[in-house]
Amino acid sequence: MVWALLAVLVAACNGNGGVASPTATSTAGTTEAPTREPGARLSTVEIVRKLRPSVVQVVTEGAQLNVFGELVPSRGLGTGVIIDAEGLIVTNNHVVRVGDALASRITVTLADGRTLSASVVGADPQTDLAVLKIDAQGLTPAELGDVSALPVGADVVAMGFALGLEGDPTVTRGVVSAKNRTIQEQSVSINDAIQTDASINPGNSGGPLVDDRGRVVGISTAIIQGGENIGFAISIDLVKPIVEELIRNGRVERGFLGVRFTDITPSLARNLGLPAEEGVGLAEVVAGSPADEADLRPEDIIIALGDTKIRNSGDLLEALRRHRAGERVKVRFYRDGDEQETEVTLGAQPE
């Protein structure tokens, strides 16, 4: 049985193929934060004034192989958000990479025009998040929000250095089109993503999605290729624990199962006559992996790991994040229409 991914995503960054060079320019100016009662709704202008000091441009340099196998210089551009007065910045993992490796040089440009070298504190390819560190004074960290209190239909503003345009970041406005989306593309799998119709373009990657109080509720990460007004941001509720672990350990330590998988949906279950309308279908079990040693097989449908019900790939990844290498966990699954259970000794997540 072949499990097909249902969405084709492209990273919303100017990529490793170079920075666009449009002719339009703008002049950065100084801004003052709005004076409002705490928690009061802000206009778009007030949101921009509040967030502008916290939004930075990230430029990466490195080398990667071209189609002829030759190493050629590569430059990429993205956006970041200051989250700490000591110089910590959150952005996307794909922003800080050139090809499969971390960029050899990363610079950050602040709202006041200062351009500084940045180092990578930690990066997590699976959630497409990274934390940078700069050595600077007088920084303004962004206020972080809470997605659990953010309703579908709420107004949001996206900010980022779209298309490499010079000057201040591009500002677009929209609504929360949906919540709890799962983004799955190559090594990236993000649960509880925010879908928005606020325009997100190449260069926006790592930039903030902001609620009407000026609080960051998401980090822009992807757009659907060929889709119109469909962009995604990583929920700040996911960003917070991932960033904390990156700061603490430099990486996110997850239990490793050793499988490739896709989501089971009601329509897929009906079409294929599957016994479960939700869960995670195994497309491949890596030879010698913990899953292989526990006799999990392709076409098994995982419905629980430990005490966690598995409805989709996001649930599985989040459950694995809560367990460590060496732990034994029970896995419930369907095989040939029968519900079964096994125990798996989780391995260490490969580098």
pLDDT digits (tens, 9 = 90+) for 81-99: 999 999 999 999 999 998 8
pLDDT digits (tens, 9 = 90+) for 323-351: 888 999 999 999 999 999 999 999 987 76
Q: Indicate if 323 belongs to the active site.
A: no
Rounded CA separation 106/14 (Å)? 15
Binned at pLDDT 50, 70 and 90, residue 309 comes out as: very high
Catalytic residue (one of 54, 74, 177, 205): 205
Q: What is the mean pLDDT of the chain?
A: 86
Q: What is the DSSP letter of 141?
A: P
Q: Say if residue 218's pLDDT is above 90.
A: yes
Report the CATH number of the 147-246 domain. Answer: 2.40.10.10
Q: Where are the alpha helices (DSSP H) in the chain?
A: 44-51, 236-249, 266-272, 290-293, 313-321
**What pLDDT, in 10s, does the model give residues 117-138?**
999 999 998 889 999 999 999 9
The yes-or-no answer on residue 128 being catalytic is yes
Write down the catalytic residue from 74, 94, 263, 313: 94
pLDDT of residue 187: 65
Beta strand spans in 51-118 (E): 55-65, 71-82, 88-91, 97-98, 101-102, 105-109, 115-117
What are the two backbone dihedrals, phi and then psi, of residue 44, each rounded to the nearest 5 degrees? -60, -40
Q: What is the pLDDT of residue 245?
A: 92
| pLDDT(262) > 70 | yes
> Residues of CATH 2.30.42.10 domain(s) within the chain?
255-348
Q: Which is the catalytic residue, given 128, 168, 192, 300? A: 128
Question: Which residue did the predictor score with more confidence, 181 or 222?
Answer: 181
Place of tokens 């602040």: 110
Q: Which residues pair with 189 in a beta bridge?
A: 184
Q: Is 212 a catalytic site residue?
A: no
Of the candidates 64, 340, 51, 102, which has an alpha carbon nearest to the alpha carbon of residue 209?
51
The CATH 2.40.10.10 domain(s) of the chain lie at 12-21+30-133, 147-246
CATH number assigned to the domain covering 12-21+30-133:
2.40.10.10
Which of 132, 128, 94 lies closest to 110, judged by CA? 132
CATH architecture of 255-348: Roll (2.30)
pLDDT digits (tens, 9 = 90+) for 220-252: 997 766 667 789 999 999 999 999 999 999 998
